[in-house]
Amino acid sequence: MNKMKNELKIENLHVEIDGKEIVKGVSLTVKEGEVVALMGPNGSGKSTLSNALMGNPSCKITKGSVFLNGKNITDLSPDKKARLGIFLSFQYPSEISGVTVSNFLRSAYKAVKEKDLTFTEFKKMMQEKMDLLDIDSNFVERYINEGFSGGEKKKNEILQMSVLEPKIAILDETDSGLDVSALKIIARGVNVVREKAKTGILIITHYKRILDYIVPDKVYVMCKGKIVKEGGKELVGKIEEAGYDFLTKKKIVIG
């Protein structure tokens, strides 16, 4: 019997924040091992969508559904979604004073994977992941994001993704604030996880540059809470060339 491939399916999702509708009927699918780019101008609702998918209580889903492998996960709490294999890389990661990166990751691994590695096993795995991301060994003994640069915060997010190897990863503007060198390292880490764990990637971004290194299979363009265009990777070039001025209310499928 063939093993079912992982798939995140969003159907007609509507999301409100403080009574105001931000996401207005979004539908899209992310399959196992696939990279799906969600692009759009500021204020289009992309980050609200990502937070709603992970179960942020400030983002109220008023209509529509979210499915993982055919199971309706719309109303599940963030911890339950994480255990099922959903991962969110935050646009603005929070500081957690007093909690080291190493302790946090070991606890997260045990909670999500329901498996406890020995100290030696975990240390070996962590070193492999850190080498991939060019992270110094003392990094994991620092408190989470405390005094971290923008690039270090984003590396920490992808380090978490590398450790957890989720079924579906949602990367919310992971490229923001990164220089070219850091961008290439982050992209390498994402690509390795995608290839090794067959993780489906939903990457949210304004810009083309990260998509030069994490090449999308599908591209959706979001504006004013709706998907207004979808197509293949060639759509990224059109956005780079013309900006978002070419957006129309009519949905167009390219390719």
Average pLDDT score over the chain:
90
What are the structure tokens assigned to 201, written together? 């990637």
Q: What does the alpha-carbon distance between residue 37 and residue 138 come to, in Å, rounded to a whole number?
A: 33
Closest CA to 167 of 5, 3, 2: 5
Return the pLDDT at 250: 47
Spell out the alpha helix ranges (H) of the chain: 46-54, 78-84, 101-113, 119-132, 150-164, 180-197, 234-242
Q: Is the pLDDT of residue 34 over 60?
A: yes
- Walk me through the domains of the chain, giving residue ranges and CATH numbers: 7-94+168-253 (3.40.50.300)
- Biggest CA-to-CA distance, the chain: 56
Return the pLDDT at 37: 97
Higher pLDDT, 31 or 176: 31
Q: What does the alpha-carbon distance between residue 17 and residue 66 come to, in Å, rounded to a whole number?
A: 18
Return the pLDDT at 252: 43
Q: What does the alpha-carbon distance between residue 191 and residue 224 come to, in Å, rounded to a whole number?
A: 30
* For helices 180-197 and 150-164, angle between their N-to-C axes, nearest 10 degrees: 10
pTM of the complete model: 0.90
Question: What is the per-residue pLDDT across 94-137, written as a single tens digit (0 to 9) for each?
Answer: 888 899 999 999 999 998 888 888 889 998 999 999 998 988 88
Return the pLDDT at 52: 96
Closest CA to 155 of 170, 134, 171, 137: 134
